[in-house]
Amino acid sequence: MTFYISPYRRMAAMRHTMNRMFDDTLVDQTPAEREMLLAVDVQAGDDAYNITALVPGLDAEDLDIEVLNNTVTIRGEFKSGIEDQTKYLVSELPNGRFSRVISLPTATDASKVDASIKNGVLSLHIPKAEEDRPKAIKVKAN
Find out whether 43 and 50 touch, Cβ atoms under 8 Å. yes
Q: Where are the domains of the chain?
A: 7-132
In this predicted structure, the answer to whether residue 53 has a pLDDT above a threshold of 90 is: yes
Find out whether 120 and 57 touch, Cβ atoms under 8 Å. yes
pLDDT value at residue 11: 76
SS3 of residue 28 by DSSP: helix
Q: Give the residue-averaged pLDDT of 110-135.
A: 91
Alpha carbons 136 and 119: distance in angstroms, whole number: 38
Residue predicted with more confidence, 27 or 103: 103
CATH code for the part of the protein at 7-132 = 2.60.40.790
Query: What are the start-end ranges of the E strands in the chain?
Result: 40-44, 48-54, 63-68, 71-78, 96-103, 114-118, 121-127
Residues of the chain above pLDDT 70, percent? 80
Residue predicted with more confidence, 88 or 100: 100
pLDDT value at residue 78: 86
What average pLDDT does the structure give for the chain?
82
Weakest-pLDDT range from 81-90, 112-121, 124-133: 81-90
Confidence of residue 125 (pLDDT cuts 50, 70, 90): very high
Residue predicted with more confidence, 17 or 23: 17
pLDDT value at residue 28: 47
Q: Give the residue-averaged pLDDT of 28-42.
A: 67
